[in-house]
Amino acid sequence: MVEIKKYEEVSLNEFPAWGGGLDTLEVLKEKGDCDEVEEYIEDREGVEALTEEEVNDILWYEKDEIAKWLGYVDWYDYEVGYDDEEEEEDERDEVADEVIAKVYETIEQVNKAVEEVYKAIAAIK
């Protein structure tokens, strides 16, 4: 008997995922990222064709890697929409808040010092 392999090109939008792969795929579809994830799978695997099981396993078990490739910290952050850029922005905001607080503290100290100078000048007169 001769084994004949038949390959079919299917986009992720049309892929018949199951189990956890289906859960992942539904989120990707909802967010419109199927094309980017297709690129990820092609780049990652570097092969001409994958079986349905291999594609489903990638979707099911490699969600965090997919999310990282899309620019997120992990799958959870991807699902809730929190990415590295937002995290960096939050960190910048925290640093800015600290700097502003220090500036206000310094201004208060300078005002107190000026007040003491005025008192000293007034005492001399």
- The tens digit of pLDDT for each residue in 73-91 reads 899 999 987 655 666 677 7
| Residues 76, 87 within the same domain | no
Share of the chain above pLDDT 90, in %: 43
Which residues touch 82 (CB under 8 Å, ≥6 apart)? 72, 73
Higher-confidence residue of 13 and 93: namely 13
Parent domain of 24: 1-82
| Residues 77, 94 within the same domain | no
| Residues 96, 71 within the same domain | no
pLDDT at residue 121 is higher than 80: yes
Return the residue matching tokens 């859960």: 23
Q: How many angstroms separate the first and last alpha carbons of the chain?
A: 115
Single-letter amino acid, residue 69: W
Give the whole-angstrom CA distance, residue 64 versus residue 6: 31
pLDDT at residue 116 is higher than 70: yes
| Residues 50, 31 within the same domain | yes
| Residues 38, 64 within the same domain | yes
pTM score, whole prediction: 0.62
Q: For 14-60, what is each residue's pLDDT tens digit?
A: 999 999 999 999 999 999 999 999 988 888 766 677 889 999 999 99
Contact between 46 and 60 under an 8 Å Cβ cutoff? The reply is no
| Residues 60, 92 within the same domain | no
| Residues 57, 40 within the same domain | yes
Higher-confidence residue of 81 and 71: namely 71
The secondary structure of residue 121, as a DSSP letter, is H
Give the whole-angstrom CA distance, residue 71 versus residue 44: 16
| Residues 116, 92 within the same domain | yes
| Residues 16, 67 within the same domain | yes
| Residues 76, 110 within the same domain | no
